[in-house]
Structure 1
């Protein structure tokens, strides 16, 4: 039997100026700012993490907010949307509340038997809300899944089904577009991946409003190393393990071009600050502490 990924760990995207991003996700989407740190490869830029109150894997959305970022353009070879699970008993109330706060929320449409509404974040990125059984909001429900746009569904599908434990649960096609739904077993958050294809699509471009990568869960370091060997055996060019302070990470591009990460659940976001005060102060990895004053002078102030 093929070993299965548990579900999504986090999704990382690119935005423009950080304050608008913070306001949208904390005030409109009811997310908690659970970590305020910097891009480890570019410490003059924030790395902001949002999630539920307990900062659990499967609820974590992160952003690199580049103040002068040019707009991105979604297209093949990119993750194009992430979706939150919203309880069906409160789904209509959530849409009404978001509209009351001035957000332009679409009328729901049916996709694979569930109601799906969309809202655009300040950089024009699509945020999906999927009606699922229960009475949870988007922060508590966490991710429902992600959509990957690829030119050819087959190679990406085979990686996910033959090597990562996903199974096909639905297919929809109309007007030169098709969507294939894949799901891993279990009741974890973020178990759904949709593969999307469209005739005559132009290439995408990274920038503000685009998704940088999609991260899946590994239970611990040993599980991650096992996944690394499995992905290498599947023909993927996988990085060595990289310490990201709150998890360890490995990266590779799947056959359709989307950047995948497999991240460990531990040590988690309470590694350097207590749960009750997550996200309140700027946290830096050890290598940047000696230049904290210079970093803080560069970063624009933000208020959550």
Structure 2
């Protein structure tokens, strides 16, 4: 079937340390809803935590594999290096005041492509950016603004984004040895922006706590995802078969610079095994692990819910 451009980001998955500190930051400090509390489908002795908006909509979902004993990671070339949330223009000053009152350290605001940006660190020292956006609504964070990829050769990744994903380059900036290229997919909306940086810093990437594992893009349904699979395979990318992740179907491949990309379907969504008002309140397991629930629950560290803070 003919397909258009990628609509934008579906979710971003990262590695973290202690799950309670992660929950306190993303649900407490950033006001995100714990949309789903489940396990790593490939390692069920570890949580998989999903945060997002009230509905768990694509373009708002930040997920984590918490490993309590994980060593610190380090972003570098061939990795995604930062995730950014969109902050409504009318709420940007309020977020600076809120962070200051909560004694949360942040850098900025700095200006990037004409927008003000705050940079803070989560408990594992992963950079989390808050970007002023005239397209965002409300007072809280309005889903993703963008993800930043760190590449040695941005041109190869740019060709994938433009020639296959339907993105267009919208700007370039340079600051202190760091060149930043910005790309956007048509239509705007949550997670429609992607940045690529090229840095002169002699850094070697290392996976671990505080690093991004993969970046997932949206496919509107299974048929569209199959078309993306065919297009990417024809272009020479080594794409996995479709994998059932219960809340979406997924295919994976590495882009030319080495970052792990996923294309995930919008349906069935996170209300498939819980009603929307109950999402995130109980440990949800895939059917293949349900018989081992008691053992899995004994292995997982307890998590205390945190009252989500309003902005």
Normalization by structure 2: what TM-score? 0.95
- 2:219 equivalent to 1:227: no
Q: Deviations over 1:204-241 (max 9, x none)?
A: 11100000000000000000000111111222110000
240 and 283 in structure 1: CA distance in 2 versus 1, 3 angstrom threshold: same
CA distance in 2, matches of 1:71, 1:226: 38
- 2:64 equivalent to 1:55: no
Aligned-pair RMSD on alpha carbons? 1.2
Per-residue deviation, 1:175:
2.9
CA distance in 2, matches of 1:93, 1:290: 47
| 4+ runs deviating over 6 angstroms | none
Task: Name whichever of 231-240 and 143-152 sits farther off.
Answer: 231-240
Task: Name whichever of 246-255 and 93-102 sits farther off.
Answer: 93-102
Total equivalences in the alignment: 303
| 1:14–1:209 Cα contact (<8 Å) kept | yes
- 2:110 equivalent to 1:112: no
Per-residue deviation, 1:135:
4.5
Per-residue deviation, 1:200:
4.3
Give the equivalent residue in structure 2 for 1:20: 21
Where 1:156 maps in the other structure, the secondary structure is helix
138 and 164 in structure 1: CA distance in 2 versus 1, 3 angstrom threshold: farther
Runs (5+) with no aligned partner, structure 1: none
Per-residue deviation, 1:152:
0.4
Give the equivalent residue in structure 2 for 1:67: 68
| 2:74–2:207 Cα contact (<8 Å) kept | yes
Give the equivalent residue in structure 2 for 1:5: 6
Runs (5+) with no aligned partner, structure 2: 306-311
CA distance in 1, matches of 2:95, 2:165: 34
| 1:38–1:284 Cα contact (<8 Å) kept | yes
260 and 137 in structure 1: CA distance in 2 versus 1, 3 angstrom threshold: farther
Where 1:159 maps in the other structure, the secondary structure is helix
Map 1:236-247 → 2, pairs under 5 A: 236-247=237-248
| 1:14–1:65 Cα contact (<8 Å) kept | yes
| 1:17–1:66 Cα contact (<8 Å) kept | yes
CA distance in 2, matches of 1:161, 1:135: 28
| 2:38–2:49 Cα contact (<8 Å) kept | yes
CA distance in 2, matches of 1:200, 1:147: 16
CA distance in 2, matches of 1:257, 1:33: 30
CA distance in 1, matches of 2:94, 2:133: 14
- 2:310 equivalent to 1:299: no
Map 1:1-304 → 2, pairs under 5 A: 3-133=4-134, 134-139=136-141, 141-304=142-305
| 1:81–1:148 Cα contact (<8 Å) kept | yes
Normalization by structure 1: what TM-score? 0.97
Per-residue deviation, 1:107:
1.9
Q: Deviations over 1:135-177 (max 9, x none)?
A: 53454x1000100000001100000000100000000123322
